[in-house]
């Protein structure tokens, strides 16, 4: 019931916001740029401006509904945030994105921050990988 998510975030339930949320759900597991979302909306014949897509995605991020990543290359990408944290592995040849979690790495990050007198607030880990070539 996605309209709940919107209300909870203090956002009015408007057509653009609902549509964008639908797109993100439909494409769950992928990482979309604002432009990708916009093009998808056009396909669905929704008359929503690119500026609105940016505005809505930014609000969603603030509300914790989506998370935003800055991989390499100008455009930021967004994905639905279902609470399950994970990191990313990006194939430099195909652009494919794989998600993963490693408890040990997570743990050590906290330890490292603590060792320097800090609390870990957030982190960003991206592995840039290449298909293993067969010998």
Partner DNA sequence: ATGCCTGCAAAGCTTTTGCAGATGC
Partner DNA sequence: GCATCTGCAAAAGCTTTGCAGGCAT
The crossing angle, in degrees rounded to 10, of helices 15-26 and 50-62 is: 70
Contact letters for DNA, residues 73-112 (x by CB under 7 A): -xxx------------------------------------
Using CB under 7 A, which of the segments 44-52, 91-99, 102-110, 117-125 binds DNA? 44-52
- Distance in Å, CB of 72 to a second copy, minimum: 7
Q: Which C-beta is closer to DNA: that of 32 or that of 80?
A: 32
Q: How far apart are the C-alpha atoms of 106 and 100, rounded to whole Å?
A: 11
DSSP assignment of 18-81, as one string? HHHHHHHHHTTTS-EEHHHHHHHHHHTT----HHHHHHHHHHHHHTTSEEEE--SSS--EEEE-
Total residues contacting a second copy by CB under 8 A comes to: 33
Question: Per rule CB under 7 A, is residue 54 in the interface with DNA?
Answer: yes
Alpha carbon separation from 54 to 20, 68, 109 (Å, rounded):
11, 12, 32
58 or 113: CB nearest DNA: 58
Binding status of residue 97 toward a second copy by CB under 8 A: no
Q: Which residues bind DNA (CB under 7 A)?
A: 7, 11-17, 33-35, 47-52, 54-56, 58, 74-76
């Amino acid at each position: 019931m996605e309209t709940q998510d919107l209300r909870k975030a203090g956002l009015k339930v408007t057509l653009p916001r609902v549509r964008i949320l639908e797109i993100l759900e439909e494409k769950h597991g992928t990482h979309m740029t604002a432009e990708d979302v916009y093009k998808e909306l056009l396909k669905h014949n929704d008359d929503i401006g690119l500026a609105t897509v940016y505005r809505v995605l930014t609000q969603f991020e603030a509300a914790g509904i989506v998370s935003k990543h800055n991989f390499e290359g100008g455009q930021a990408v967004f994905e639905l945030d279902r609470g399950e944290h994970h990191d990313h592995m990006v194939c430099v040849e195909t652009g494919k994105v794989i998600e993963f979690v490693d408890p040990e790495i997570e743990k050590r990050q906290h330890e490292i921050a603590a060792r320097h007198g800090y609390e870990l607030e957030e982190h960003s880990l991206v592995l840039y990988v290449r298909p293993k070539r067969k010998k």
